Amino acid sequence: MSNTRKDMQVYPSRIGINQRGVALITALLVVSLATIMAVSLMSRQFIDIRRTGNMMHSDQAYLDAIAAETFVGQLLASVRRQGQSTFDDLALFDLALMQLSGDMSDDSRVVSVQVSYPESRFNVNTLMTDEGKVNPKQENVYRRLLSAVLADLGENTSQVDNLVSSLLDWLDADEEARIDGAEDSVYEGKDVPYKAANRMLTSISELRLVDGYTETLLEGIPANEAENIEAVDGLLAYVDALPYEYSTINVNAVVKRNIITALSAYLEPGMVDDLMEGAPYEKITEFTGHGTLESIKTSDPSRYQKLTNEIRGYQSNLTVQSNYFLIKSQVVVGKTAVNLNSLVYVDKNGANFNVISRSIGTEGI
Tens-place pLDDT, residues 294-323: 889 989 999 999 999 999 999 999 999 888
Q: For residue 15, is pLDDT > 60?
A: no
Q: Which amino acid is at 132?
A: G
Is the preceding peptide bond at 280 cis, omega within 30 degrees of 0? yes
Q: Would you say 93 and 321 are in contact if contact means Cβ atoms under 8 Å apart?
A: no
pLDDT band (50, 70, 90) for residue 291: very high
Between CA 336 and CA 334 the distance in angstroms is: 6
Residue 2 has pLDDT above 60, yes or no: no
Please say if the pLDDT value at position 7 is more than 80: no
Cα 232 from Cα 210, distance rounded (Å): 21
pLDDT at 285: 94
Contacts 24+ apart (CB under 8 A), 299-305: 303/266
Q: 252 Cβ partners below 8 Å, 6+ apart?
A: 87, 88, 89, 90, 279, 280, 281, 320, 321
* pLDDT digit string, tens, across residues 84-116: 556 666 666 666 666 666 566 677 778 888 888
162 falls in which pLDDT band (50, 70, 90)? very high
How far apart, in Å, are the Cα atoms of 248 and each of 97, 128, 179?
Answer: 25, 14, 29
Say what the pTM is.
0.80
Which residue from 60, 45, 21, 67 is spatially nearest to 327, judged by alpha carbons? Answer: 67
- Chain-centroid distance of CA 167 in Å reads 20
Alpha-carbon span 183 to 270, nearest angstrom: 41
- In sequence order, the 6+-apart residues with CB closer than 8 A to the CB of 143 are 160, 164
Residue burial 117-138, b: 16+ Cβ < 10 Å; e: rest: bbbbbbbbbbbbeeeeeebeeb
pLDDT band at 191 (very low <50, low <70, confident <90, very high): very high
CA distances from 102 to 89, 95, 99, 300 (A): 21, 11, 5, 53
Residue 17, pLDDT score: 57
Confidence of residue 51 (pLDDT cuts 50, 70, 90): confident
Work out the end-to-end distance of the chain between its first and last CA atoms, rounded to an integer number of angstroms: 109
Sequence-distant (6+) residues with CB within 8 A of 67 are 104
Which amino acid belongs to residue 256? K
Across 6-15, 25-34, 256-265, which has the greatest mean pLDDT? 256-265
Q: How many residues does the structure list for the chain?
A: 365
Q: How many CB atoms lie within 10 A of CB 38?
A: 10
